[in-house]
Amino acid sequence: MQQPQESAVKPGLTSVHPAVAPVASNTTTTTTATGALGAQQTSTTAAVSDSQVQPVGQGQDQVQLTDEQILTQMQAIKDEEANVHPLVGVSEDLTELEKEYENGSAAFRNKIMNLADTHDRMRRSRGDGNCFYRAFAFAWFERVMLAKSKPELLEQALKAIEESKDLLLAAQFEPLAFEDFYQVTLETLQNLVHFTAEELLGTFQNDEVSNSIVMHFRLVASAYLKTHQEDYAPFLEFGQTMDEYCSMHVEAMGRESEEMMLIALTKATHVSVEVAYLSGNENADEVNFLPFLPDTPPYMPPLVLLYRPGHYDILYRKSHCLEGVV
Amino acid sequence: MYKTMGSTALKRLMKEYRELTLHAPEGITAGPTTEENFFEWEALIEGPKDTPYEGGIFPATLTFPKDYPLSPPTMKFTCDMFHPNIYQDGTVCISILHAPGDDPNMYESSSERWSPVQSVEKILLSVLSMLAEPNDESGANIEACKVWRADRKHFDELVRGTVRKTLGL
């Protein structure tokens, strides 16, 4: 595997960007309400100590929170996080990335300078463990939306999403489990022709729609791996089955992606991706580009993602049409 | 196009409810407590045969988050329950109710976890098999764990006591 292991700062946390201290609430977005009082609620409460709920003590007389209170707290944390980092941000000039490393190592600064020769904008995806799937979906759908003069991009995308349903069925997923996410993804794609760039961004910033699309692509990646076990099972840990791997790492929200998911998704959707790997390697001044290619000939230039250990964002290549990007 | 929070959850819960009414698995009944609120369910679980829970009918509530099925519901028995994987307040603690990465009880890596491919039906079936086969590796009620490990006969007696209680005997 070419790509380094994701070195998340904390378990379940995708680091946001090195120059910015991770937001404490990031760690709690993946801990769902457990119902019973445990260590998690203690940290949850600590993260929202401004709210009216009393902090949970360590002693005997712990405050018993009702499920509803816990859910309200979880929502408060998510809302707070949303204000700081939208699920998908507006596009930014690449100089914003340079600024993050102003006081950082020369290895990063040199690479960004070189990257800026061929790329001029970036777009952040929230570091919630879903950043790869969300960045992939947004970059793809935005490409289709902007290419009004090339209706074949929309046709190919619609075909790929419709085919994904057959893949999900072939992987033995029950329709109940995937049809709502599939429907939202398909409808979003069908509506792209009527969307303004702002509306597309708004759609991907809306929890309900954005997460449904993320979930669809998670299930598609899982279905691809399950239906191509002979190729990918050798990469699993000893004794682990592909079903176990997918249920632990692919099918649940907030689980970080590994190289295998990138391969699966590009092959399942016939969309090629190039990952610009921004590492702290001091022996190189160039960003390394890792290509992920589908089995079919590419019908459009690759989506470009920026990868920093533990996190994916979107990059815009100068040679690609950028007109209308917001 | 923007959806209001919870509309995906509501759609899914209505489908699951319809499915459960049409093809309820044996020993399980479940549905919304009131027609007005699909995010609070009531379930009745029959104690599995050949276990000390046999003959009992155990009521429980299921509380769903607004982003269900991305996040799991919580489940709580509303009657007295003596079981290694049920907290004293009735809260059920099994792996299927926790997403991977959320690990309050150090579940085995191969144990079934929450993701949107799970469902209310799968949760309730897991709870049924949990009643038949407690997992003392990830205990929620330490006292029940101890008795279950040390003195199975006494454990069975204590359970049968709670069963009689739920039946109002």
For residue A78, give its domain range: 24-84
Q: What is the ipTM of this complex?
A: 0.90
DSSP letter at A251 equals S
Q: Is there a single domain that holds both residue A211 and residue A265?
A: yes
- Pairing verdict, β A273-277 and A303-308: parallel
B75 neighbourhood in chain A, CB within 8 Å: 35
Contact A208 B140 (CB under 8 A): no
Clarify whether residues A52 and A112 are in a common domain.
Answer: no
pLDDT at res. A164: 97
- Verify that A92 and A80 share a domain, yes or no: no
B69: cis peptide before it, omega within 30°?
A: yes
Residue A287 pLDDT exceeds 60: yes
Q: Which of A59, A84, A109 is the last residue of a domain?
A: A84
Considering the domain architecture, whether residues A184 and A285 belong to the same structural domain is answered as: yes
Average pLDDT over residues A46-51: 37
B150 touches chain A (CB under 8 A): no
Percent of chain B exceeding pLDDT 90 equals 79
**Closest residue in chain A to residue B72, using alpha carbons only:** A32
d(CA B106, CA B101): 10
- Contact between A132 and A305 under an 8 Å Cβ cutoff? The reply is yes
Is there a domain that residue A6 lies in? no
Choosing among B1, B3, B12, B40, which should be mutated to test the A contact, i.e. which has the most A CBs within 10 A?
Answer: B1
Mean pLDDT rounded to a whole number for chain A: 82
Residue A88 pairs with which residues in a beta bridge? A125
- Judged by average pLDDT, the poorest of A182-191, A197-206, B80-89, B134-143 is B134-143
Residue A264 lies in a domain: yes
Residues A150 and A30 in one domain: no
> How far, in Å, CA of A231 to CA of B109, rounded?
23
Q: Which residue has the higher pLDDT, B73 or A285?
A: B73
> Nearest C-alpha of chain A: how many angstroms from B151?
27
Q: Which of A20, A77, A84 is nearest to A48 (CA)?
A: A77
Which chain A residue has the Cα nearest residue B86? A36
Question: Does the beta-carbon distance from B100 to A38 stay under 8 Å?
Answer: no
**CATH number of the domain that A150 lies in?**
1.20.1300.20
Say yes or no: A155 and A257 in one domain. yes
- Output the pLDDT for position A238: 86
So what's the pLDDT on residue B73?
97
Between positions 65 and 124 of B, the ones with CB within 8 A of A are 65-67, 70-72, 74-76, 87, 89, 91-93, 97-102, 104, 109-110, 112-119
Question: To the nearest whole angstrom, how far is the Cα of A178 from the nearest Cα of chain B?
Answer: 7
Please tell me whether residues A105 and A69 are part of one structural domain. no
User: Which residues in chain A touch residue B65, judged by CB atoms under 8 angstroms apart?
Assistant: 32-33, 71, 74
A30 vs B contacts (CB less than 8 Å): 99, 101-102
In A, which residues are within 8 Å of B3 by CB distance? 184, 206, 208-209
Portion of chain A with pLDDT greater than 90, in percent? 62
- Neighboring chain A residues of B97 at a CB cutoff of 8 Å: 34-35
Residue A92, domain member (yes or no): yes
Q: Which residue would you say has higher pLDDT here, B139 or A43?
A: B139
Is A254 inside a domain boundary?
yes
- The share of chain B scoring above pLDDT 70, in percent, equals 92
Mean pLDDT of A22-44: 35
pLDDT (0 to 100) of residue A34:
36
B145 has a pLDDT exceeding 90: yes
Residue of A nearest to B11 (CA): A180
The one catalytic residue in B93, B123, B127, B144 is B93
Q: Judge if A74 and A194 occupy the same domain.
A: no
Pair A101, A34 in one domain: no
- Substitution target from B33, B41, B66, B71 for chain A, most A beta carbons within 10 A: B71
Q: What is the pLDDT of residue B37?
A: 93
Q: Chain B contacts of A36, Cβ < 8 Å?
A: 87, 89, 91, 93, 104, 140
Residue B102 confidence (pLDDT): 75
Residue B81 above 70 pLDDT? yes
A326 or A185: which carries more pLDDT confidence?
A185
Q: Between the CA of residue A137 and those of A186, A200, A265, A281, B79, what are the distances in Å?
A: 12, 11, 10, 29, 46
Any idea which of A206-215, B56-65, B109-118 has the lowest mean pLDDT? B109-118
SS3 of A57-108: CCCCCCCCCCHHHHHHHHHHHHHHHHHHCCCEEEEEECHHHHHHCCCCCHHH
- What DSSP state is assigned to residue A26? G
What is the average pLDDT across A76-91?
82
Answer for the pair A122, A314: CB distance below 8 angstroms, yes or no. yes
Q: All domains of chain B, ordered by start, with CATH? A: 7-166 (3.10.110.10)
Closest-CA residue to A257 (of A29, A6, A11, A30): A6
pLDDT of the residue at B136:
80
**Is residue A11 situated within a structural domain?**
no
Confidence band for A71, pLDDT divided at 50, 70 and 90: low
Structural domains in chain A (count): 2
Instruction: Say which of A67, A74, A176 has its CB closest to residue B15.
Output: A176
Supply the pTM of this predicted model: 0.82
Residue B5 to chain A, least CA–CA distance (Å):
6
Is B145 known to be catalytic? no
Q: Tens of pLDDT along B19-71?
A: 999 998 999 999 999 989 999 999 999 999 999 999 999 999 999 999 999 99
Local confidence band at A13 (pLDDT 50, 70, 90 cut-offs)? very low
Distances (CA, A) of A173 to A219, A226, A260, B72, B120: 9, 10, 20, 18, 16
Going by pLDDT thresholds of 50, 70 and 90, the confidence category of residue A122 is very high
The tokens for B168 are 């109002």
The reply to whether A35 and A98 lie within a common domain is: no
Residue A288: its pLDDT value, please? 93
Per-residue pLDDT, A70: 72
Task: Select, from the ranges A31-35, A241-245, A280-284, the one with the highest average predicted confidence (pLDDT).
Answer: A241-245
Name which of A42-51, A270-279, A287-296 the model is least confident about.
A42-51
A3 in any annotated domain? no
Same domain flag for A110 and A74: no
Residue pLDDT, tens place only, B3-12? 667 889 999 9
Q: Mark which of A37, A64, A84 sits at the end of a domain.
A: A84
Q: Note whether A239 and A258 are same-domain residues.
A: yes
Q: Which residue among A68, A84, A100 closes a domain? A: A84
Measure Cα distances from A168 to A171, A172, A224, B30 in Å: 5, 7, 8, 28
The larger pLDDT score, comparing residue A240 to residue A74, is at A240
